[in-house]
Amino acid sequence: MSILVNKNSKIIVQGITGSEGSFHAGQCFEYGGNVVGGVTPGKGGQTALDGRVPVFNTCVDARLKTGANVSLIFVPPAFAADAIMEAAEAGIELIVCITEGIPVSDMVKVAEYLKTTSSRLIGPNCPGLLTPDEAKVGIMPGFIARKGRVGVISKSGTLTYEAVHQLVRVGLGQSTCVGIGGDPIIGTKMKDLVQMFEEDPETDAIVMIGEIGGSMEIEAAHYIRDHIKKPVVGFIAGQTAPPGRRMGHAGAIVSGADESAAAKMKIMRECGIRVVDSPANIGETVKEALAVRV
């Protein structure tokens, strides 16, 4: 089983006729994802991916004609907020926005609009999702993952890949990997995904990778302490980052006492999370946690 996406997900790609959208849509298609169409205004009636999928002018058209329930967005930053809201207005249940550099003011509007809909947003500025051997929605390299029972949540794309590598190295696979993005305003928080993995009967353990800045990891840690029975292994990136300096992602900046790596790691440990000091220890720590649980 998995969360959010599986082999039955029907995926459309907004921006499919652009170079990035076309390339990654093709990668998702080749991996086995059920890419049923694309959306580019003014290009409705054409086809993409060498004639394998139809292109529509709007998300409404695409949903009506294909029954799509997932949208993958590769649209330039200036237009990405409108693309997200268009997908939500069309009733797309899951929206995955890869676009980096969307203005915070635009995302404030998106966040408010999404509250009026039933759509869930992953991202922006994220690598997307991967359910091994079923569906790839985004830019994660599918070949590094293997089917299994560990859920992965991460703010960082590259650290998602490292966590997957470390898990596979010790013989563990993944149920679903979710890159949530590191912008100041994102759609789906760590706490939401931890809850989904807890409720998934085929996920046995959870890996949660955060970074400096914001309070999302602390909120998730408190939720884990009070509600989660499955073992959780955590890592916080940016342990040497000085206060007030942005490190990588737009949201990765320490501006409060509890936003440093050390503070987050301390709170996470107090909440029962097995916190590792290096991502190289993720696989072995998850394996040990599962052995103790058995």
Structural domains of the chain, ranges and CATH numbers in brackets: 11-122 (3.40.50.720), 141-293 (3.40.50.261)
pLDDT of amino acid 259: 73
How many other CB atoms are found less than 10 A from the CB of residue 146?
14
Nearest Cα to Cα of residue 257 among 200, 210, 218: 218
pLDDT at residue 2 tops 90: no
CA distance from start to end of the chain: 20
Calpha distance 40→9 (Å, rounded): 21
State the residue for tokens 């394998």.
52
242 has pLDDT over 70: no
- Residue 239's pLDDT band (boundaries 50, 70, 90)? confident
The pair of structure tokens assigned to 227 is: 């509600």
> Average pLDDT, stretch 178-183?
94
**How many CB atoms within 10 Å of residue 45?**
9
Question: Per-residue pLDDT averaged across 143-157, rounded?
Answer: 95
Sheet holding 94-97, edge to edge: 47-48, 53-56, 35-39, 11-14, 70-73, 94-97, 120-122
Over 60: is that where the pLDDT of 294 sits?
no
Query: What is the mean predicted confidence (pLDDT) over 101-117?
Result: 97
Which positions are annotated as active-site residues? 249
d(CA 30, CA 264): 39
Is 248 exposed, middle or buried (CB count within 10 Å of its CB: 0-12, 13-18, 19+)? middle
Residues 10-21: tens digit of each pLDDT: 999 999 999 999
CA dihedral 166, 170, 176, 182 (to 10 degrees): -20
- Could you give the C-alpha distances from 12 to 15, 72, 84, 256, in angstroms and in order? 10, 6, 13, 40
Least confident of 73-87, 181-195, 253-267: 253-267
Specify the pLDDT at position 261. 85
pLDDT at residue 252 greater than cutoff 50: no
Give the pLDDT mean for 84-95: 98
When mean pLDDT is compared across 23-37, 118-132, 165-179, 243-257, the lowest value belongs to 243-257
What pLDDT score was predicted for residue 247? 54
pLDDT at 11: 98
- What confidence category does residue 256 fall into, taking pLDDT thresholds of 50, 70 and 90? low
Write down the mean pLDDT value for the chain.
93
> Among 30-39, 202-211, 232-241, where is mean pLDDT lowest?
232-241
* For residue 87, pLDDT beyond 80: yes
pLDDT at 244: 54
Q: Using the structure block, give the residue that is written with the tokens 């300096």.
A: 245
Residue 253 has pLDDT above 70, yes or no: no
Q: Residue 133: phi, psi to the nearest 5?
A: 70, 10
Query: Looking at the predicted structure, is the pLDDT value of residue 264 above 50?
Result: yes
Both tokens assigned to 122 = 């992953």
